[in-house]
């Protein structure tokens, strides 16, 4: 791992350690002067989980950009891995589908998030939900272990996304699949946004081109790749003005580019780790 990747991981670790110690209301609020303004970038993208079976308010920090567990086709008895599990929200929703016969494993590299997730699981007596400390570029799970992998707005925070997809392929059983919500781009972001550390931790500056993202999935050996959901992410002007001039914001709005939340599905149909490996 090069120095810049190490620095980015340190930034994400610090930011999400701070978030883990706050409640959702604190994370979702950001007041400018006398009136309330837009929330942090990572909260702007979040979808509403509250009507989903298994939802636990204590585990919802408002950090996602989709509802991957809604589309993940989880069945009773499945083994599910959640990458970047945070306080456990997607794990608990996944458990509602696996039932007590299944198992859910959450992976996170922020100690404070692991502690919070374990406390939430213990509070509810969930003996088949486990949280492991680890980096999703080297997932701490044996090969061919999972039926389903989910992740919610996490891969965009990882500098080496190709490694993550290779790891997802490794831990999935043949015939298994993933459903991942993430942030992607079409067109170019202004350099001032790309270089802003806060925008990286907010899931934007670390995003890559949509076509490149889908190509990485295919390169890693996955088949039957499909977009399950796509929505435009509009960053409000009161956040953009921290990084761009009025003229630059206008240019960004008028340019042929965009920031999107996508939920993508793919299957591991054979044991080959990538094209040409067998």
What pLDDT does residue 127 have? Answer: 94
Domains, the chain, ranges and CATH? Answer: 3-23+38-267 (3.40.50.150)
Mean pLDDT within 206-231: 94
pTM comes to: 0.83
Beta bridge partners of 185: 209, 259
| Whether the predicted pLDDT of 224 surpasses 60 | yes
The percent of residues in the chain predicted with pLDDT above 90, rounded, is 49
Contact 141, 105 (CB under 8 A): yes
Of 43 and 148, the structure prediction assigns the larger pLDDT to 148
| Mean pLDDT score of the chain | 83
The percent of residues in the chain predicted with pLDDT above 70, rounded, is 77
In three state form, how does the secondary structure of the chain look? CCHHHHHHHHHHHHHHHHHHCCCHHHHHCCEECCEECCCCHHHHCCCCCCCCCCCCHHHCCCCCCCCHHHHCCCCCCCEEEEECCCCCHHHHHHHHHHCCCCEEEEEECCHHHHHHHHHHHHHHCCCCEEEEECCHHHCCCCCCCEEEEEEECCHHHCCCHHHHHHHHHHHEEEEEEEEEEEEEEECCCCHHHHCCHHHHHCCCCCCEEHHHHHHHHHHCCCEEEEEEEEEECCCCHHHHCCCCCHHHHHHHHHCCCEEEEEEEEEECCCCCCCCCCC
CB burial of residue 247 (10 Å; 0-12, 13-18, 19+): exposed
| Whether the predicted pLDDT of 90 surpasses 60 | yes
The single residue listed with the structure tokens 């509250």 is 50
**Which structure tokens are listed for 136?**
């999703």
Mean pLDDT within 169-184: 96
Contact 183, 261 (CB under 8 A): yes
Collect all residues with Cβ–Cβ distance below 8 Å to 275 and sequence separation of at least 6: 219, 221
Nearest to 208 by CA among 158, 152, 254: 158
Nearest to 183 by CA among 227, 159, 213: 213
Model pLDDT for residues 116-130, shown as the tens digit of each residue:
999 999 999 999 999
Task: Report the 10 Å Cβ neighbour count for 217.
Answer: 21
Please tell me the least confidently modeled range out of 29-33, 53-57, 75-79, 178-182.
Answer: 29-33
Q: d(Cα 240, Cα 234) in Å, to the nearest integer? A: 10
CB burial of residue 270 (10 Å; 0-12, 13-18, 19+): exposed
Model pLDDT for residues 36-78, shown as the tens digit of each residue:
345 555 555 666 676 778 777 777 777 778 899 999 999 999 9
Q: d(Cα 201, Cα 205) in Å, to the nearest integer? A: 8
Of 37 and 232, the structure prediction assigns the larger pLDDT to 232
């Amino acid at each position: 791992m090069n120095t810049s990747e190490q620095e980015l991981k340190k930034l994400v670790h610090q930011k999400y350690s701070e978030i883990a110690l706050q409640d959702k209301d604190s994370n979702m609020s950001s007041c400018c002067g006398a009136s309330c303004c837009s929330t942090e970038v990572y909260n702007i993208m979040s979808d509403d989980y509250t009507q989903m079976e298994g939802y636990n308010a204590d585990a919802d920090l408002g950090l996602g950009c989709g509802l991957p567990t809604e589309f993940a086709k989880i069945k009773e008895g499945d083994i599910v891995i959640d990458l970047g599990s945070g306080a456990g929200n997607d794990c608990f929703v996944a458990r509602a589908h696996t039932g007590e016969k299944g198992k859910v494993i959450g992976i996170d590299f922020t100690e404070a998030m692991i502690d919070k997730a374990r406390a939430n699981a213990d509070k509810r007596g969930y003996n088949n939900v486990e949280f492991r400390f680890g980096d999703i570029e080297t997932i701490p799970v044996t090969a061919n272990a999972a039926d389903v992998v989910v992740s919610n707005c996490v891969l965009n925070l990882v500098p080496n996304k190709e490694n993550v997809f290779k790891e997802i392929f490794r831990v999935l059983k043949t015939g298994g699949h993933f459903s991942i919500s993430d942030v992607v781009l079409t067109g170019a972001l202004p350099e001032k946004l790309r270089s802003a550390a806060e925008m990286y931790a907010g899931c934007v500056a670390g995003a890559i081109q949509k076509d490149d993202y889908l190509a990485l999935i295919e390169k890693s050996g996955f088949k039957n790749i499909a977009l399950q959901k796509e929505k435009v992410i509009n960053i409000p002007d009161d956040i953009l003005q921290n990084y761009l001039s009025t003229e630059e914001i206008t240019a960004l709005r008028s340019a042929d580019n965009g920031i999107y939340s996508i939920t993508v599905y793919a299957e591991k149909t054979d044991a080959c780790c990538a094209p040409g490996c067998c």
